[in-house]
Structure 1
Amino acid sequence: MSGLPWVWGATAEEAARRYPADDAVEGRPMTRAVDVAAPSEVLWRWLCQVAVAPYSYDWVDNGFRRSPRELTPGADRLEAGQPMAKVFRLTTFDDGHHWTAVTPGRGRLGAAAITYAAEPVSPASSRLVCRLVATWPRPALDALAWGDLAMMRKQLHTLRDLAEQTTTG
């Protein structure tokens, strides 16, 4: 699947690759990605921060509370079952590389799974790739894809900026 709203910022290879979210639920994938001028180790720490706050539009996702702009000590000690991004539960992770979480279906809406990956490009740069797979029925799935695109774009840019500031700051 290519083009908006299903793919944003991802290369053709990233969009075609399988991620753990693809194995967690069977549904329609959405792939989003950004370049990050920071090592993957730094980016990974910021991906773990999603356990602390959503890093998207805080007025929507975080009750008007600003997502922390400093790394939270211990946030990178992941445990299966812990909440991620408030609505997901962590299922698997490859420490330093990627984590995957799921949310059960609610009512007529199906389940969803998400993988965030810190992909090394060079010693000083990386790619932040996110795969969301949802089993929602149409037209709810189409609405989710467009809404997720807006929210995820903001989140990935925020996490990228914070990782880059951590490297240069």
Structure 2
Amino acid sequence: MLLHNLPELSVGEPFLVFQITSFTTDEQITGVLPEALSRRHGHMAVSYTLRPHGVGSRLVVKVVAETGATSGRRLRRRLLAWGDLIMMRKQLLTLKELAEGLAASESASE
């Protein structure tokens, strides 16, 4: 676990810009855009899933967006996807650094 003493998760609670729809502690968290944002950007969901990988784990993120909308919404969604790519990459690199730092400190204390 990267962070200790975090509040318990519950369905409906905010998660980034999403609302939690399901979660399994130490395995996955899934959320959808709240209704107000869905009206503007279309329906969208995101899942963060931990999967075993060798002696460690891999964090997989999946974003699913509604298809078939007005041309303005499609353009906005494409721009949002490129912006999200940049932010998601930074977020995942930060989580990687935190996890590697924690693993290094735990192995040094053994």
The answer to whether TM tops 0.5 is yes
Larger RCO of the pair (alpha carbons < 8 Å, separation 6+): 1
Give the number of aligned pairs: 98
Instruction: Establish whether residue 134 from structure 1 lines up as the match of residue 55 from structure 2.
Output: no
Name the structure with the higher helix share.
2
Q: Does 1:93 align with 2:29?
A: no
Divergent runs of 4+, >4 A: none
- Contact 2:19/2:34, CA 8 A, preserved across alignment: no
CA RMSD of aligned residues (A): 1.8
| 1:33 alignment partner in structure 2 | none
Tell me the CA shift for residue 155 of structure 1.
Answer: 0.2
Q: TM-score, normalised by structure 1?
A: 0.53
Correspondence for 2:45 among 110, 113, 124: 113
Worse overlay, 129-138 or 111-120:
129-138
Q: Which has the larger radius of gyration?
A: 2
5+ residue gaps in structure 2?
A: 68-72, 106-110
- Segments of structure 1 that go 5 or more residues without pairing to the other structure are 1-44, 47-70
Counterpart for residue 146 of structure 1: 82
Distance in 1, matches of 2:6 and 2:40, equals 37
Give the Cα separation in 2 of the matches to 1:72 and 1:135.
35
TM-score (norm 2): 0.78
* Percent of residue pairs identical: 41
